[in-house]
Structure 1
Amino acid sequence: MSTAQRPILFVSLPESGLLNPLLVLAGELARRGVPDLWFATDEPRRADVQRLAAASAVEFASLGEVFSELSAVSWTDEVYREVTQSSRFKAHRAVIRQSYRPDLQAEKYRRLETVADKCEPALMVIDCVAGYAVDLAIARGIPYVLSVPFLPSNVLTSHSPFGPSYTPKGFPVPHSGLPFPMSPAQRLTNRLFKLRTLALFLNPAMGKVLSEDARIRKELGLPSPSPMTRIDRAEMVLCNSVPELDYRFDIPAKVKLLGAMVPPLPKADRAEDDGGVLDWLDAQSSVVYMGFGTITRLTREQVAALVEVARRLEGRHQVLWKLPVEQQHLLPPREELPGNLRIEGWVPSQLDVLAHPKVEVFFTHGGGNGFHEGVYFGKPLVVRPLWVDCFDQAVRGRDFGISLTLDRPQEVDPADVVDKLTRVLGDPSFRRNAERIGEAQRAAGGRTAAADLLLGLPALAATPA
C-alpha cells in the first residue's frame, strides 16, 4: 500500500505563448485522473484553468492581477514600439529594461510562497520565463520541470560572451535572428550582440536595478542568479520543438524535445461555432490564414496593406484573418473589403483552423507556439517577425525550407507579402518540408509523452505508507 502523491503545481505567466502549453499538459493529466493538480497564474486566466477539469480537477491558485509592466499585452504603445523596432539588439535591450523588475518579481514570489505553503507540491512545472517560480523551487528544494515553448537553443545559449552555454562557440545568440553557420560579418554582429548585452548590465542605470535585485534576493534568502541555473537545477526540461527545427548541436539529455503541445482535436464543437468558421473553411478550395498572435498591434496603414494583400489574391485564394476586435476599427468600410476576405475577432480554435485541409499557408508573426503549431499540421509559413524570438524562428524556417520572411517586417508592403505567399504556395517543396517536420513533431509525442515523462519522475513516486 502507498500514500497518495503530493500535488503537482504548475506556474506560468499569463501570456498565452507561455501559458498555453502548460494548460495543455495540465489538461492531459486531468483527463488521466491524476489527483492534486494545482495551477498558479494571474487572476484573469482563472476561467482557462477551471475549464481543464476532467476526470480530476485542476485547482486554480491566483497570483493576483497582472502587473502591466511585466505583461506585453498591456505595455504602452511607446514600449511596444521600442520592443518591436527594426534594430534587433535595441529591441532585445528594450525587452530587458522593461521586464527586469525585481520588485514586481518579488511580489509574485511572495504570492507564490502562499500557494506553495497551502498545497506543498511534490513537483513544480514552470514556464521558463517565470523566474520567481524557479527561485522558489530552488529555495525550498522542490524538484521542478521547466517548460520551453521556444527553440531549444533559446534557453541553452548564453547572452554573455563569457557565460556558460550548451551550444558551441559562435552559435547565434538568441533574439539576433542570425543563421548558422555565419559569414564573417554575421559572426562579428553576433559577437557584438553579446558584448552589448554585457555592457547593458554595466550601465549605471541598470546597476541600480541590479543592486535592488541583490537586496531583495538577500531579504528573501535567495542565491545570486546564474545564467544557466534554471536549466542546471531542473529535473527535466520539456521543449515544444524538435531537432529538425533548430541548428544542430548536442542537446543535454535532460532536455526532452516533444514537438508542439497540442490538445486533442477537434478542440472546438461545431455546434458552438456560431460564426460558422469551420463550415466556411469546408466550402473553400484554398485558404490563406493570417494570425499574428495576441501581442501584435497593427497600425491603420498596416491593416489597409493587409486588406490589399487579400484583394490581390482574389480569384485564387480565400483569406481568413484573425484580427482582434479592438483593432477592427482600423479597417476600411465593410463595402470596400474584397469578397475573398473573412475577418474574425476570434476563432473557436486556431489549432482546428491550422489542421483544416483547406488551409494552405499560415501568415504569422513567428512566435514560438504559432511557428511550431503551423508546422505540426504540415503548413508552410510566411513570417512577419514581431520581436525577440520571432526572428530566430523565422531564419530557421527559411533555412529549413518551410517558410519565407518579409523583407521589411516593420512595414507591410502588399507586393512583398503577395510575392512571398505566391512563392510558398507555388513551390511544393515548402509543403513537403513542412509535412516532413510536422510528422517528426507528431512522432515526438507532445502532451502524451510529456505527461508520461512527468509521471515517471522520482519526485512523484508513491512512498510506502
Structure 2
Amino acid sequence: MEQTTGTQRADGPGQEADQAGARPVLFCCTHSTGEAATSLALAGELARRGVPDLVFAADENLRGPVEEIADRSAVEFVSLGPVNPALALTMMDDATYDRIYQRSRVRALRARARQLFDVDHLLQRYQALDEVVERVRPALMVINRFATHAVLVALARDIPYVITAPCLLSSLVEHDLPRGFPPPSSGLPLRRTLRQELDRIWFRIGVGSLFLDRSVLRRAVRLHKRMGELGLDPRTLRAPVQQEGARSLLCFTVPGVDYPLPVPDRVRMVGALVPPSRHDERDAAVTEWLDAHPSVVYVAFGSVTRMTADQVRSLVELARRLGDDHGLLWVLHRDQQRLLPAELPANLKVVPWVHSQLGVLEHPHVRAFFTHGGSNSIHESLYFGVPVLVRPTLVDQFDHAVRAVDTGIGLTVERPDRIDVDDTHGRLLRLLHEPGFADRAREIGQVQRSAGGLRVAGDAVLMELREASVPTPSA
C-alpha cells in the first residue's frame, strides 16, 4: 500500500500539540470532493496548530489536496486505492447519470442505491483501512459520516472515533425524527398542503421499499454474509449504532437553517468550517474581475453537475438580461465550455474552477449565489451573509432549497431540470433588490460565527484526543 508524507514532521509543535498526546489522529472520508472538503479543513486546522502524527486515509484522488494542508505539522497521506469509476458521479456514463438525476426523487434514490451499493468495494476499503490502522495504531479516528468502512474498522478494533457531518441536523438524526417531520431528501416543507402530505407518504413508502429491489436485496444479503465471515456484526451498518458508538458528532450547521429539532447530547453544531485564510493567489484574475463589478451574481453548481446545451444557452441569456447593472461569475467545467456561444455578454465571466469558493463569497461585491444547494455551498454562503437561489438536483439539495425559502435566506427555481430565463431572472432580481433576504442571511451568518466553526471543531477533536490518549487504569 503506497504511503507518502507531505513534509517532515515539525519539531516542537507547541503547547496544544504537546497536550494532545503522542498517538496519531487518523482522518477518514470518501472520495467525494464535497464530502472531503470538511475533512481536509479540519485536518488542516490541526496541522496549523502543530498537532503531530496526523494521518489521512482516503482514495488516491485526495493525495494532492492532503499534501497541500501541511503546515506547522505534516499530514501523512495513505492511499486506499484509486477512485472506483462506477461509484463516482463525475465519472459515470450519461445514461447512469440521467437515471440518478431524474425528476422522480424516489426513482432517483432507487437508481442511486443500485449504482452505489457495492459490496466488494466497501469490504476492500475496510480491509485496506484495517491494514493502515494496524500500522498507525491511532488514538482517535475522525470519520466522515459516509465513510462506512472507517466506522466498521473503528468499532471492530474498539478505537475511539468522532463522526463529522456536513449536513442538516435532520439528515444526521433521520432515524429519530419527530412524527410528521419531512423525510430527508424529500424536499418537502414542515407545513404541507394535502398534496404535499400525500407526497410525503408516497416518498416514505418508496424509500422504505428500496431494499425490496431485487438487486439491492441480493447485495444486502451478500454483505451480511461476508461481514459474518470477517467476524463483523452486521448491525454496525446501521446509522444509530454507528452514532451511538461515537464519542461525539460534529455537525457543520447551526440552528435556524433547518426546521427546529432537539439536539442530541453528543451532537455539536459548529457551523461552516471557514479557515482564517480564505484567498488563493491562483484566483487573482477572478478577484480582479470582482473588484471591477460592484454587483455580482456568483453561479456554481458543484463538481458533479452536467449542463446541457439548452441550460448553458439559458444561463448566457440570463447574464444578458442582468445587463450592465450586475455581473455574473460562472464556474463551468472546462469540458462543458464547448457548449458556450462564440460571443458572450460583457458582464459574464466564465471560469473552469475557483480554488477558493470562500474567497469569492467573502468578496463584498458578491450579492447572490445561484447554487445547486450542496450543504457546503449553502452554509458557506450564509457564513458571509450572501442569499441563495437554489437549483437542486439530488438528495439533500432539495431539502436545502425548501429550507432556504422557509427561513427567508433565499429562493428556489421552479423547474431544476431546466433553466427558465424569465423565472430565474425574476427570482434573482428579488434577491438583489429586496433587502430581507440578505438581512436574514447575515443573521444566520452571525449565528455561525458565534458557533465557532473550525476553531471549535478543532478544539473538540483535541479534547477527544486527550481523553482517548489517557491510559485506562488496570483492573
TM over 0.5: yes
TM-aligned CA deviation for residue 459 of structure 1 = 4.0
Residue of structure 2 aligned with 1:114, choices 131, 145, 167: 131
Once the two structures are superposed, residues 158-191 of structure 1 have per-residue CA deviations (whole angstroms, 9 ceiling, x without a partner) of 3xxxxxx1x2111111110011133333233223
Deviation sequence 1:413-441 (CA, Å, 0-9, x none) = 11111011011111100000000001111
Give the match for residue 342 of structure 1: 349
Q: Does structure 2 retain, via aligned residues, the 8 Å contact 1:2–1:463?
A: no
Gaps of 5+ in 1: 159-164
Which stretch of the first structure deviates more once superposed, 297-306 or 75-84? 75-84
Aligned to 1:382: 389
Partner of 1:366: 373
CA–CA distance in 2 between the matches of 1:25 and 1:278? 26
The range that moved more, 56-65 or 95-104, is 95-104
| 1:58 aligns to 2:59 (yes or no) | no
Identity of aligned residues (%): 44
Contact 1:68–1:74, Cα closer than 8 Å, also in 2: yes
Partner of 1:399: 406
Q: How far apart are the structure 2 equivalents of 1:43 and 1:81? A: 26
* Corresponding residue for residue 197 of structure 1: 207
Secondary structure, counterpart of 2:121 in structure 1: helix
**CA distance in 1: counterparts of 2:128 and 2:252, whole angstroms:** 28
Per the alignment, do residues 226 and 279 of structure 1 end up closer, same or farther by CA in structure 2, a change over 3 Å counting? same
- 1:304 is the counterpart of 2:316: no
In the alignment, which residue of structure 1 is the partner of 2:418?
411
Counterpart in the other structure of 2:246: 234
Q: Please give the secondary structure, in 2, of the residue aligned with 1:215.
A: helix
Does residue 127 (structure 1) correspond to residue 127 (structure 2)? The answer is no
Residue of structure 2 aligned with 1:426, choices 409, 430, 433: 433
Q: Provide the C-alpha distance between the structure 1 equivalents of 2:451 and 2:103, rounded to a whole number of angstroms.
A: 35
Equivalences for residues 258-269 of structure 1 within 5 A = 258-269=270-281
Are the counterparts in 1 of residues 23 and 469 from structure 2 also a CA contact under 8 Å? no
* Structure 2: distance between partners of 1:3 and 1:296: 41
The TM-score normalised by the length of structure 2 is: 0.92
What are structure 2's unaligned runs of at least 5 residues? 1-17
- SS in structure 2 opposite 1:85? coil
Matched to 2:51, the amino acid is: V
| 2:268 corresponds to | 256
CA distance in 2, matches of 1:90, 1:172: 18
Q: In structure 1, which of residues 300, 313, 329 is the aligned counterpart of residue 322 of structure 2?
A: 313
The answer to whether the 8 A contact 1:263-1:447 is kept is yes
1:259 Cα shift? 0.5
Task: Name the SS of the counterpart of 1:244 in structure 2.
Answer: coil
Give the 3-state SS of the residue equivalent to 2:90 in structure 1: helix
DSSP 3-state at the match of 1:314: helix
- Aligned-pair CA distance for 1:3: 10
Q: Distance in 2 between matches of 1:199 and 1:14?
A: 28
Query: For 1:399-419, what per-residue CA distance to the aligned partner results, in whole angstroms no more than 9, with x for missing partners?
Result: 000111000010111111101
For 2:306, give the aligned amino acid: R
Cα distance change, pair 3–291 in 1 and its aligned pair in 2 (3 A): closer
User: What is the distance in 2 between the residues matched to 1:327 and 1:198?
Assistant: 37
SS in 2 for 1:66: coil
- Partner SS for 1:195: helix
Deviation of 1:327 (Å): 1.0
Instruction: Provide the C-alpha distance between the structure 2 equivalents of 1:192 and 1:348, rounded to a whole number of angstroms.
Output: 41
Query: What displacement does 1:343 show?
Result: 0.6
Counterparts of 2:170 and 2:326, CA distance in 1: 36
Structure 1-normalised TM-score? 0.94
**In the aligned structure 1, how far is the partner of 2:70 from the partner of 2:267?**
28
Question: How far apart, CA to CA, are the structure 1 residues paired with 2:19 and 2:388?
Answer: 50
- Do the aligned partners of 1:3 and 1:463 also contact (CA within 8 Å) in 2? no
| Residue among 164, 167, 178 paired with 1:168 | 178
Question: Which amino acid is 2:139 matched to?
Answer: A
Code of the aligned partner of 1:238: L
Give the residue type in structure 2 aligned to 1:92.
Answer: L
TM-aligned CA deviation for residue 101 of structure 1: 1.1
**Aligned equivalent of 1:322, options 315, 324, 331:** 331
Secondary structure at the aligned position of 1:435 is classed as: helix
**Amino acid aligned to 1:67:** N
| Aligned counterpart, 2:255 | 243
Answer yes or no: is the 8 Å Cα contact 1:3–1:464 preserved in 2: no
Total equivalences in the alignment: 453
Which residue does 2:110 correspond to in 1? Answer: 93
Alpha carbons 1:376, 1:437 under 8 Å: kept? yes
User: Would you say 1:282 and 2:291 are equivalent positions?
Assistant: yes
